[in-house]
Structure 1
Amino acid sequence: MVNPTDTGNLVLIGMPGSGKSTVGVLLAKRLGLGFVDTDLLIQEEAGRTLQAIVDQDGYEALRRIEEQVLLKLDVEHKVISTGGSAVYSARAMEHLKANGTIVFLDIPLELVVERIGDHSMRGISRRPDQSLDALFEERFELYSRYADLTVQGEGLNQDQVCDAVVEGLLSGKR
């Protein structure tokens, strides 16, 4: 049986609106771990918002900065909320996986749309011609590939998602 606090870091991946930041804070409190939000680290590194990076330099610049931030991340026993595009960097994901358990917070596209509202202002890293539907499909494959544990979030509140993560870790489910 796995003790959730003995697995190194818990790394949360998923689409914007999947609850990575909100659930991450709750998990950190519940498990007595620290919390790191890599979107905030990216903004700190760049000195501007994610949306400003995308608007001024393009989505590829945001992905490059994100990869640099993730590769520099050297923490233990933390819950790490990653940006939705972290999975585009195999190097960064291997780095995160080396000292952690990757948890995919999976929600359907309809719920993503409902939660994020006007996605044009969310700093989402995507090609200018790419629809949210196409981005969702593309990323779903990557999230599934890297996940050690997948938690279905549809119909669950934040506390229930936390429960599902802890139960999944304890049971060794994938």
Structure 2
Amino acid sequence: MTLEEFNTIDRDTAVAAVRPCLDIARWGEAIVDRRPYPDLAFVLDTARVAAEPFTTAEIDSALAHHPRIGERAAGSGAEARMSAAEQAGLGDSSAELEQALADGNADYERRFDRVFLIRAAGRSRSEILSELERRMAHTEDEELAVIAGQLREIALLRLEGVIDS
């Protein structure tokens, strides 16, 4: 949608439009309630500020919608389509690399009791695997901070795709 459309649609429709970017109600409402915006950069700045900080409950709620790296998102809604598009850019992969990612995902979930999240856009599978392995050494608090940052990056990229400048 255009920025002009986003600025003028009703609140509920606007909240529904940004929800697939990041399903944290407080975040989406903060963006919508700040309308009208003069340009996309201002929308993105508002979104960035609204994402500071995410609570652990918000992070866990948002992660419930994210598939594992290498897996398809459930459903056919906007969020599932965004996730599929992001992961489609990961390029070709060997069976060995796919197995390493699957094993890494399982190890991560056992360690942190949540799905491994990373901004997939612009990264290769091998880069993602390296980052997963590096993050396994984090403490719970360190990893929560990284997850929050990844959620912000994903949300901003998605928001930029939802609202045309």
The TM-score bracket by the shorter chain reads under 0.3
Structure number with greater Rg is 2
Task: With the length of structure 1 as denominator, give the TM-score of the two structures.
Answer: 0.24
Q: Which has the higher helix share?
A: 2
Task: With the length of structure 2 as denominator, give the TM-score of the two structures.
Answer: 0.25
Q: Which has the higher contact order (CA 8 A, sep 6+)?
A: 1
Q: Which has the higher strand share?
A: 1
